[in-house]
Structure 1
């Protein structure tokens, strides 16, 4: 709910909206320990079964019907890069996985727990390991 309202308000920037967004962001961080950018694009039916410690960066795109478990990070590779992941439909991302950089995770794919994904994942695949290997 916070994300949807924040995403809507982020498109209508002014002083009052900025204060509301700051309040929503703090509430999200305190309550769940999550940092989900209001500039990220999140589709329909995206679910967080255990919404603790999730980080979704500014330019991340998450399509419909994606499940993201706790402690997952979707972000850029470093402070100077502006490349963020694109998660296609029907993907499952398990606990503590990290997807970094301009990675595309294909439809119906799975990202294993504690995996570090730095390369594209094809449709209907599973990526596991550090760095992730495609199975």
Structure 2
């Protein structure tokens, strides 16, 4: 599967949190500030609100403030319909163009620069396997797609709308159908 997303837990310190939020939610020339983060959390676009809350919740989980983290994770689920397992590792550059009804199960590893559209389901890690790499780097998952069971994809993959990925696939492919199959390669 090429270079799969790393399975090791990455520590999120305050500088890493600031860098993630700066990259994913602030405009390129905006400088970091706690006021700007508060604005994004409360008044920003839905996609930036979701990403800011998600990253803040992950950081709080890491530093041991599990109650506040749980409150933010539950707020994501209630307000936007976005469920993210608290023990999931997500690489830099995550993007939700339409953050509605997205489920990212627990104990998963998602690579860098993933783009998840609405109604996407990434099922939690299979029993006995933790953490479980589900998506590689530079993966686009279009609306309604599901990645379940032993399903995982490598780097530079496109998963078409309403596809059901239930087996492993490699790098540089376009997947579609139920169950998913390779319909094109990107080489």
Query: Normalising by the residue count of structure 1, what TM-score does the alignment of the two structures yield?
Result: 0.86
In terms of fraction of residues, the more helix-rich structure is: 2
Offset of 1:77 from its aligned partner? 7.9
Larger-gyration structure (1/2):
2
1:55 and 2:106 equivalent?
no
User: C-alpha separation between the residues in 2 aligned to 1:85 and 1:19?
Assistant: 27
RMSD: 1.8
Q: Give the equivalent residue in structure 1 for 2:77.
A: 29
User: C-alpha separation between the residues in 1 aligned to 2:128 and 2:104?
Assistant: 13
Offset of 1:23 from its aligned partner? 1.7
**Moved segments of 4+, more than 3 Å:** 82-85
Q: Give the equivalent residue in structure 1 for 2:91.
A: 43
User: C-alpha separation between the residues in 1 aligned to 2:108 and 2:125?
Assistant: 12
1:64 and 2:134 equivalent?
no
Unaligned segments of structure 2, at least 5 residues: 1-51
Query: Normalising by the residue count of structure 2, what TM-score does the alignment of the two structures yield?
Result: 0.64
1:96 and 2:144 equivalent?
yes
Once the two structures are superposed, residues 17-43 of structure 1 have per-residue CA deviations (whole angstroms, 9 ceiling, x without a partner) of: 232123212211122111011211111
Aligned length: 130
Offset of 1:106 from its aligned partner? 1.3
Offset of 1:97 from its aligned partner? 0.4
Q: Give the equivalent residue in structure 2 for 1:4.
A: 55
Offset of 1:55 from its aligned partner? 0.4
Unaligned segments of structure 1, at least 5 residues: none
Offset of 1:50 from its aligned partner? 0.3
**Change beyond 3 A, Cα 1:82–1:134:** farther
